[in-house]
Structure 1
Amino acid sequence: MTENMRLMTVADLNQIIADMPRYWGERDMRQGHHYPLVHEFGQTCIVADSPDGIRGYLMGWVNHDHVGYIHFIATRDDTRGTGLGRRLHAEFARSAAEQGATSLKAITAVTNTGSFAFHTTIGFQAETVEDYAGPGQARVVFTRDL
């Protein structure tokens, strides 16, 4: 089944939050899904929609340094391994470039091996940065030129 890439709405975010386990399993990621991101950065918050609902999404923005920052990218449990994450990423990269981005960036915990595998497979460079999220809180910082 193919999906339609389109801009995220507040109604979409409500549905994503209601269906959070389908995207994140046991991890409760609601605290990072901020409604102002949809309101203020709606041109770079994307859903992959289909007749059976939202199959995946990406929330991001372009900062003042012309970096397209990927805040969240997630695919529904029944769409993993279909290339949907790559398609969402490509749509975000296109949109971010249209807004002047010259590179992309994403951050994850050092223990998130799935995120590491995904981002490095699609061409990101990875660097572990000590204390990135505060004292003793290392993070993997992914970067890629557009």
Structure 2
Amino acid sequence: MIDPMAVQITLAQVTDIQRVLADHPRYWGDRDLRSLHLLALVQEFGSTCLVARAADGIRGYLIGFVTPDGTGYVHLIATRDDTRGTGLGRELYAAFTEAAREQGAVRLKAITSITNEGSVAFHRSLGFEARVEEEYNGPGQPMVVFTRALPGAP
């Protein structure tokens, strides 16, 4: 698992996301998801946007926010290619969960494409329920929607 002394999870800054975008393939491989990295989310929801910093740079990050109905929504989560399998994704989710709780979140939600088997397996391992919504992004654009109630929430 990750060495807590080597990685520090802190609030993300716009410059952090710009660094991630400059090294995009290390986090996303061949998938070009740069257009999903909305800097406005970091600007407006900075208390729920996180980076995992280490001496060798940003090892992972999570961009999320809390909706008015109490849903902690994870827009993006990624770990660098040399950090996968260390538990860092779980650590980022744990930090986000606490930040979202502080803002009144009672549940968590995330989405992914129906072909992203790694994301489906990861979210299920975190206790999320997964369901396919056939037209989540519009006609003919199904997505897997993950939801999980937060323990102790009303």
Quick one: which amino acid aligns to residue 98 of structure 2? R
1:83-98, aligned counterparts within 5 Å?
A: 83-98=87-102
**What is the Cα deviation at residue 44 of structure 1?**
0.4
Q: Which residue of 1 aligns with 2:73?
A: 69
For 1:141, the aligned partner's letter is V
Residue 24 (structure 1) aligned to one of 10, 22, 28: 28
Deviation digits for residues 21-69 of structure 1, max 9, x if unmatched?
A: 0000011111000110110000000000011100000000000110000
Any stretches of 5+ residues in structure 1 without a counterpart? none
1:91 and 1:24 mapped to 2: Cα distance? 21
Check if 1:145 corresponds to 2:149: yes
Q: What's the TM-score once normalised by structure 1's chain length?
A: 0.98
Which residue number in structure 1 is paired with residue 85 of structure 2?
81
Residue identity (%): 58
Alignment-derived partner of residue 40 in structure 1: 44
Paired with 2:38 and 2:58, the residues of 1 have a C-alpha distance of 18
- Indicate the RMSD between aligned Cα atoms, in angstroms: 0.6
Secondary structure at the counterpart of residue 77 of structure 1: coil
Q: In the alignment, what sits opposite 1:108?
A: 112
Write out the 4+ residue segments of structure 1 that deviate beyond 6 Å after TM superposition: none
Report whether the alignment pairs 1:5 with 2:6.
Answer: no
SS of 1:61's equivalent in the other structure is: strand
Count of residue correspondences? 146
2: distance between equivalents of 1:10 and 1:89? 20
Shift of the alpha carbon at 1:93? Answer: 0.4
